[in-house]
Chains A and B, each alone.
Chain A
Amino acid sequence: MFDKQIFKTDLLNFLKKSIMICEKNSEKIISEELKQPEFFSNGKYKNFCLIQKTDYEFFITKTIKNEIISLKEYKILIKFFITKEFQNYNDKLLGTSYEEIDTKPNFTNELPLKFLAEYLKHNDKFSINTKIFNQIFNQFFSFTENLLEDEYVTPLFNFESDIDEKGIAINDIMIRKINKSEFYIFSNLEENVHLSSIFHNLTHVMLMKYSSSDLNSGYDKVKEKFQRVIDSLSLLKEGNPRFGGVYRNINNPWIHYDSKYEIDIVPKNPLKMKKNEKKQVKKIYDGLNVIDFSKKGNKFLEIAIKRFVTALARTNKFDQLIDLMISLESLYVSSPGEITVRLSNRMATVLGKADSEREEIWKFTKKVYNMRSGIVHGEGLRSNEIDGKIYTLDEIIQKLIQINRQSIIIFIKIVTHYTSNNKIDQISEDIDKSLINRNYLKEFQLKFK
């Protein structure tokens, strides 16, 4: 790219000169009182305090910009930003906005101004502090080495954990404690007088880095990956983890942040994840990653997972029950006709470890499928007595969630043993054979042990 040391020297020269202009114009600096969140020791939001913040970015990039860009040192500096990498970075920012226009702005020319603003944020004494300069220079240089890389961050709702600021990595996705500036932006703290309970319990974020040569394609790819982590967490244990809007470059001072997919999240039972459960999450995540869900043969599993995760987010119990049953049907029944019998037989065969347990699952499934039909056909809740015992709707749903989770985990393992486009039919046939022949059952069970 270019010589780091020469660049550093020129950047320092620019800083020295530009700081003098800043000091001369310091009466034009605008300061404002802004809210800053404070957290309890468990990481949950406690309250906010008011802090005086100086808007150096506005001061540099708007108020005294002309004076600074006329500096000889500035002109020297921007000559570094003419390599192919910087051109690609500028093209990325330009997007299609300047198509068919001869004169295009060069946004890389703003980088020295952003550096100056960032420096003043950390040292507002209009003097050179070598330690601060080195620290910011290193951050800046690392940014210039990966100009097309963006960081995407999303708040992780209905989630509690002992994971700290350093975080844990699930492959290329990280989970860590939320920082103050992230919380400030996610919660819209400045404008919200009363924060909703969903933010009072927000303690963690998911994040990942992704490189792209345009501003549009990254979000969808990253969202897919975040969803896969949510799926993995949902399959790990009890809880309703969700992610909110996805924010890009929220922690990057050199490029303006933006966001996409604002989603309304309902506070629900949090998933409590221990740091040492990382391996289990990763195992599920890796299991999901090896399955190509774009292939027709795996669609039934994708539907089952989606319905399961949707069910967890539902607030209406009937809707939850219907989604959970759809999820199970996707896994165990591939065609219409005698669904109750086939569903209960197959679930009992796959999930039951002993005869008594098989019988229990068989009875439960038959009954719950009947309840589901009552809801779907408009009769409301039919009898909730199963094998002489009265269950509450909550208890039935909890049991269904467990069965769903267990089934999906098994099927994630099973599908890798089949290759054709009608995997679901082959799996169903193998389960049916296992129902009749215990030796075959043992063989089949090896596929998901």
Chain B
Amino acid sequence: MVSEEPIDVICNKEQTKNCAVRLGRVFCDGFNPDGLIGAFSHFHQDHIHAITDCIGQYDTIITHPITLEAITAMDSGFRHREQWVTQDYDTRYHCPAGDIRLLKANHIPGSAQIHVESDGRSMLYSGDFNYPDIQIREADFLVLDSTHGDPIFDGSTDRKSVKNRMFEDIKEKMDSNKPVIVQAYSGTLQEIIKHFEINYDGSKLSHDIPFVTTKSQKEILFRIYKNEKNEFREILDYDEHEFWRLVRGNKRCIIFLPYNTIVDSSLQNYFRIRVDRYRFASEEPAITSSSDGMRYNLAAHASIQNIISFIKEVKPKTLVTDMSRSGYAPQLAKIIHQSFPEINCYSRPNFKKYV
């Protein structure tokens, strides 16, 4: 069912999760059988899961070059399809569906908001985003990701100092010859590796400390940071014998794993660094300890205050919160409506209106 508004979150038959976001005739982060133009905001699984269907149907698929690199790192077959159009941030792509722009979303490398202008109307899909340090373009219609923004879980953070502290904590473990597992979502994982190898200002980790990750995460790393590829040390594959030799001897190493990889029982007692998995309550510090390691809040998503500031700048007349990626969407719509009673605000696909 398609709403009367030019923006919507449309689920296919029996689909309830991770549905396509419609901006006029552009379908973002999901598949619609009637769509011809698609766009992907970033390469997290809940946003690109429908990629195969989209490739089979859409004429054009727009995404940021880094996102395409990451997608093709996960499945090289996709690279050879002709539909891909890679767009740098804030450059216009003109097509029958309108003018499409990708705007920096400050979530993970390559992440973008998708902005469409068509028939005198401007529409924006935020995707996962963080605020500030984000590109702003006004839009009459806004589809807002609702993954975060719950005031209860609104722990504040300073990404750079948290990453620095993480580096120092890991260095201390390395100095005592202990292995460490760093678990984060894809994209953030690569950002952390880059921080350790390139961005960290102080003395770096000794190059004889092995880095380990899965084949696909390594591929993503080298694709999205291809210009810096030579600055990374050799990274061992999680599956290769050389790594399991290290495990057998309990040797120091840093193992970077995405959350969807099951950690082997042999590594169960390794010191764990978990990034962003747990929601940090507003009064909680950005770094907390757990029984088997530490938890770090890099807050790749905007807080409620930042969402309000973002909306103020975008100035939408109609706002939809995406219920297919977060059950928190109706509540978020309600909070936004309280702050902006003039905005027509509701969550989709459940049609729960607050106006």
By a beta-carbon cutoff of 8 Å, the part of chain A in contact with chain B is 30, 32, 55, 57-58, 62, 93-97, 100, 105, 107, 110, 185, 188, 190, 214-216, 255-259, 262
From the candidates A30, A58, A93, A100, name the one contacting B278 in the complex (CB within 8 A). A100
B291 and A95 within 8 A (CB): yes
Complex-state Cα separation, A62 to B177, whole angstroms: 25
Within 8 A of A (CB), among B173-200: 176-177
Determine the residue in chain B with the shortest Cβ distance to A90. Answer: B265
A96 and B241 within 8 A (CB): no
A262 and B250 within 8 A (CB): no
B265 and A97 within 8 A (CB): no
Complex-state Cα separation, A110 to B265, whole angstroms: 8
A96 and B266 within 8 A (CB): no
B292 and A96 within 8 A (CB): yes
From the candidates A255, A257, A262, name the one contacting B177 in the complex (CB within 8 A). A262
Residues in A with CB closer than 8 Å to B244 are: 55, 57-58, 62
A257 and B272 within 8 A (CB): no
Complex-state Cα separation, A155 to B241, whole angstroms: 29
Given contacts A100-B278, A190-B249, contact A262 B268 (CB under 8 A): no
Complex-state Cα separation, A100 to B244, whole angstroms: 28
Residues in B with CB closer than 8 Å to A185 are: 249
Given contacts A62-B244, A262-B176, A262-B177, contact A94 B250 (CB under 8 A): no
Residue B339 CB within 8 A of the other chain: no
Q: Given A258-B250, A258-B269, list of 16 further CB < 8 A pairs?
A: A30-B241, A58-B241, A62-B241, A62-B244, A93-B268, A94-B268, A96-B292, A97-B292, A185-B249, A190-B249, A214-B291, A256-B265, A256-B268, A256-B269, A257-B250, A259-B250
Residues in B with CB closer than 8 Å to A215 are: 268-269, 292
Determine the residue in chain A with the shortest Cβ distance to B263. Answer: A97
Residues in A with CB closer than 8 Å to B95 are: none
B265 and A96 within 8 A (CB): no
CB distance from B309 to the nearest CB of A (A): 30
Complex-state Cα separation, A275 to B315, whole angstroms: 85
B241 and A216 within 8 A (CB): no
Residue B1 CB within 8 A of the other chain: no
Residue B52 CB within 8 A of the other chain: no
Query: Which 7 pairs show the lowest CB-CB distances between chains A and B?
Result: A256-B266, A107-B265, A258-B269, A93-B268, A96-B291, A105-B262, A58-B244
Residues in A with CB closer than 8 Å to B239 are: 62
CB distance from A67 to the nearest CB of B (A): 16
**A-B residue pairs in contact (CB < 8 Å), sample of 11:** A57-B244, A58-B244, A62-B241, A95-B291, A100-B278, A105-B262, A105-B263, A216-B292, A256-B267, A258-B250, A259-B250
Interface string of B253-274 (1 = CB under 8 A from A): 0000000001101111100100
Complex-state Cα separation, A214 to B269, whole angstroms: 10
Residues in A with CB closer than 8 Å to B248 are: 55, 57
Complex-state Cα separation, A262 to B245, whole angstroms: 21
Determine the residue in chain B with the shortest Cβ distance to A215. Answer: B269
Residues in B with CB closer than 8 Å to A93 are: 265, 268
Residues in A with CB closer than 8 Å to B292 are: 95-97, 215-216
B272 and A97 within 8 A (CB): yes
From the candidates B241, B250, B266, B268, name the one contacting A97 in the complex (CB within 8 A). B268
By a beta-carbon cutoff of 8 Å, the part of chain B in contact with chain A is 176-177, 239, 241, 244-245, 247-250, 262-263, 265-269, 272, 278, 290-292
From the candidates A55, A188, A256, A257, name the one contacting B241 in the complex (CB within 8 A). A55
CB distance from A131 to the nearest CB of B (A): 27
CB distance from A364 to the nearest CB of B (A): 43
Residues in B with CB closer than 8 Å to A216 are: 291-292
Residues in A with CB closer than 8 Å to B245 are: 32, 55
CB distance from A145 to the nearest CB of B (A): 20
Residues in A with CB closer than 8 Å to B250 are: 257-259
Residues in A with CB closer than 8 Å to B272 are: 97
Complex-state Cα separation, A256 to B247, whole angstroms: 9
Residues in A with CB closer than 8 Å to B291 are: 95-96, 214, 216
Complex-state Cα separation, A105 to B259, whole angstroms: 13
Residues in B with CB closer than 8 Å to A97 are: 263, 268, 272, 292
Determine the residue in chain A with the shortest Cβ distance to B269. Answer: A258
Residues in A with CB closer than 8 Å to B290 are: 96
Complex-state Cα separation, A58 to B245, whole angstroms: 9
CB distance from A438 to the nearest CB of B (A): 57
Residues in A with CB closer than 8 Å to B267 are: 256
Residues in A with CB closer than 8 Å to B247 are: 256
Complex-state Cα separation, A258 to B248, whole angstroms: 10
Residues in A with CB closer than 8 Å to B177 are: 262
CB distance from B271 to the nearest CB of A (A): 10
Determine the residue in chain B with the shortest Cβ distance to A248. Answer: B269
Complex-state Cα separation, A93 to B269, whole angstroms: 8
Residues in B with CB closer than 8 Å to A255 are: 265
Complex-state Cα separation, A100 to B269, whole angstroms: 19
CB distance from A85 to the nearest CB of B (A): 17
CB distance from B75 to the nearest CB of A (A): 20
Determine the residue in chain A with the shortest Cβ distance to B267. Answer: A256
Complex-state Cα separation, A58 to B247, whole angstroms: 11
CB distance from B255 to the nearest CB of A (A): 13
Complex-state Cα separation, A62 to B266, whole angstroms: 12
Max count, chain B CB within 10 A of own CB: residue among A32, A55, A62, A190: A62
Residues in B with CB closer than 8 Å to A96 are: 290-292
Residues in A with CB closer than 8 Å to B263 are: 97, 105
Complex-state Cα separation, A262 to B179, whole angstroms: 13
CB distance from B153 to the nearest CB of A (A): 13
Determine the residue in chain A with the shortest Cβ distance to B272. Answer: A97
Complex-state Cα separation, A275 to B269, whole angstroms: 36
Complex-state Cα separation, A310 to B314, whole angstroms: 67
Residues in B with CB closer than 8 Å to A100 are: 278
CB distance from A222 to the nearest CB of B (A): 15
CB distance from A285 to the nearest CB of B (A): 29
Complex-state Cα separation, A36 to B19, whole angstroms: 59
Max count, chain A CB within 10 A of own CB: residue among B241, B265, B266: B265
Complex-state Cα separation, A256 to B266, whole angstroms: 5
Given contacts A55-B241, A216-B292, A262-B177, contact A95 B268 (CB under 8 A): yes
Complex-state Cα separation, A312 to B131, whole angstroms: 59
Residues in B with CB closer than 8 Å to A107 are: 265, 268
Max count, chain A CB within 10 A of own CB: residue among B239, B267, B268: B268
CB distance from B173 to the nearest CB of A (A): 12
Determine the residue in chain B with the shortest Cβ distance to A245. Answer: B177
Complex-state Cα separation, A190 to B248, whole angstroms: 12
Residues in B with CB closer than 8 Å to A188 are: 249
Residues in B with CB closer than 8 Å to A95 are: 268-269, 291-292
CB distance from A102 to the nearest CB of B (A): 13
Residues in B with CB closer than 8 Å to A262 are: 176-177
Complex-state Cα separation, A107 to B269, whole angstroms: 13
Complex-state Cα separation, A32 to B244, whole angstroms: 13
CB distance from A36 to the nearest CB of B (A): 14
Complex-state Cα separation, A93 to B292, whole angstroms: 11
Residues in B with CB closer than 8 Å to A58 are: 241, 244
CB distance from A370 to the nearest CB of B (A): 42
CB distance from B206 to the nearest CB of A (A): 14
Residues in A with CB closer than 8 Å to B266 are: 256
